[in-house]
């Protein structure tokens, strides 16, 4: 099963680990009215990786490239979880039973009606989607994410 509707485009932006570089990136996006839906920042001694989800990835990539940022794109899943202790564990156990590994995870900035939304990068997108749908876990599409 290849259900690409649930593949969410994530943009990973490589930035120097210096004061104001994240602020500068955020300002460039704000100037073009690009709103961050999700953000994760991982850093090393010399550089950081800002993983972002936006409503219009094409426009975001264009703005970043025009401003000299280095980036790459990956597909991730956006999954609703119950906003309660154990909500995330329930979802992660669904995909673990199918021997799907989570490479990383982070939360979206906004919640939805008693639900949190997590972003998952997994090693087998199709198997993860099948496992989640078989367990009645709601996956979000790119349109869903754009309107959160």
CB of 8 within 8 A of CB of 78? yes
* Residue-level pLDDT at 81: 93
Per cent of the chain over pLDDT 70 is: 98
Q: What would the mean pLDDT of 136-141 be, rounded to a whole number?
A: 94
User: Three-state DSSP class for 35?
Assistant: coil
pLDDT at 1 over 60: no
Q: What would the mean pLDDT of 63-68 be, rounded to a whole number?
A: 97
User: Three-state DSSP class for 75?
Assistant: strand
Instruction: Give the integer Cα–Cα distance in Å for 51 and 60.
Output: 12
pLDDT at 117 over 70: yes
Query: In this predicted model, what pLDDT tens digit does every residue of 15-47 receive, in sequence order?
Result: 998 889 999 999 999 999 999 999 999 988 888
Higher pLDDT, 74 or 109: 74
Q: Which domains does the chain have, with CATH numbers?
A: 8-73 (3.30.2130.10), 75-146 (3.30.70.260)
């Amino acid at each position: 099963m290849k259900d690409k509707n649930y593949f969410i485009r994530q943009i990973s932006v490589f930035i120097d680990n210096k004061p104001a570089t994240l602020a500068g990136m955020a300002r460039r996006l704000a100037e073009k009215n690009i709103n961050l839906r999700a953000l994760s920042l991982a850093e090393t001694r010399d550089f950081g990786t800002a993983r972002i989800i936006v409503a219009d990835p094409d426009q975001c990539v264009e703005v970043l490239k025009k401003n000299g940022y280095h980036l790459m794109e990956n597909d991730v899943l956006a999954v609703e979880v119950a906003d309660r202790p154990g909500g995330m564990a329930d979802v992660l156990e669904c995909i673990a039973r199918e021997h799907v590994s989570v490479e990383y995870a982070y939360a979206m900035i906004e919640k939805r009606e008693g639900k949190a939304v997590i972003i998952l990068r997994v090693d087998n997108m199709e198997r993860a989607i099948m496992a989640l749908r078989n367990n009645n876990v709601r996956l979000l599409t790119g349109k869903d994410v754009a309107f959160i």
